[in-house]
Amino acid sequence: MSSSTRLLVLGVVRMFQPVHGYDVRRELLSWRADEWGNVSPGSIYNALKSLTRDGLIEIVGTAQVGGRPERTSYQLTAEGEQEFGQLLRETWWTVGQPLDPLMPALSMMSAMRRDELIAALRHRITQIGGMQEHMRFAIEHFQPDTSPEHVKEMLWLMEARLAAEIAWGQALIGRLEGGGYVTADDPPWHPVAGRRAVINRPGGSATAPAGAAAAPTRDKGRAKAKAPAKPKALAKPKAPTKPKAPTKPKAPTKPKAPTKPKAKRRPAR
């Protein structure tokens, strides 16, 4: 059982106690809690059984009208009152990331053609615009005699979120029309070879948004995968040696002058 289902069922029992399970279900469906509170109609009776088993609500009686099945009436216990207050305050003081079914498709938008993405966005904007008009009509024709006045705040919040998505969708159309992002009709984008995008979260969990780079993770109990060896850098070619300058030819040696013949010595008289 989700915390939102737990909070809403406890709250309705607290509001109308003692109350039949059928009336709890009917009240929540009249609020359209299945649309905004993640409460499926079939889970309400199971929630009543679970809360009874946990000691948070108790059975105060059963009644049968005509040939209809018996109806069981419930009310909160002291533990249920405490649990309701704790859940209510935790939800107000804790901000969680809402789950949007568009997010998985948005992360894979590069697998669609640009023209189809733009057409799909325009279709979404038209649909969301209709929902926004419905919210505005409900706010304008709100009847405080059938619902508490503060319920209008829920309608205003939903209308504001719809308006924000319309503005975002129109801005994304402009970016796509301007050539932004890689789509199926563009040259494909590939992650860096041998790398996997990982962002560590507190508590050891991790997510891997496309495009981010981080070290690869490994599963417990498996041998640690060796990182792929980096290719050796190619040796730089040696610069060509400069040719030696030609040696200058030696100057020819001058021929030696012929030696003069020695004078003959005259004989003495």
Question: For the segment 161-176, what is each residue's pLDDT rounded down to a tens digit?
Answer: 999 999 999 999 999 9
Give 257 or 153, the one with higher predicted confidence.
153
How far is residue 262 from each of residues 259, 265, 267, measured CA to CA in Å?
A: 9, 9, 15
Task: Please check whether residue 259 lies inside any domain of the structure.
Answer: no
pTM of the entire structure? 0.64
Give residue 254's pLDDT.
57
Task: Please check whether residue 106 lies inside any domain of the structure.
Answer: yes
Looking at 46, 71, 93, which one is the last position of a domain? 93
**Mean pLDDT, rounded, for 179-184:** 94
How far is residue 92 from each of residues 95, 164, 170, measured CA to CA in Å?
A: 8, 22, 31
Domain count, the chain: 2
Give residue 148's pLDDT.
85
Instruction: For residue 40, give its domain range.
Output: 3-93
Give residue-wise pLDDT tens across range 9-68.
999 999 999 999 999 999 998 888 888 888 888 889 999 999 999 999 999 998 877 777
- My answer on whether 122 and 205 are in the same domain is yes
- My answer on whether 105 and 73 are in the same domain is no
- My answer on whether 107 and 87 are in the same domain is no
Give residue-wise pLDDT tens across range 197-217.
544 445 544 444 444 444 344
Q: Is the pLDDT of residue 238 over 90?
A: no
Task: Please check whether residue 242 lies inside any domain of the structure.
Answer: no
Structure tokens at 61: 């009686």
Do 17 and 76 meet the contact criterion of CB atoms below 8 Å apart? yes
Give residue 221's pLDDT.
41
Give residue 240's pLDDT.
54
Give residue-wise pLDDT tens across range 95-152.
988 788 899 999 999 999 999 999 999 999 999 999 999 999 999 998 888 788 898 9
CATH code: domain of residue 57: 1.10.10.10
Task: Please check whether residue 163 lies inside any domain of the structure.
Answer: yes
Give residue 157's pLDDT.
94
Confidence of residue 252 (pLDDT cuts 50, 70, 90): low
- My answer on whether 11 and 117 are in the same domain is no
- My answer on whether 68 and 32 are in the same domain is yes
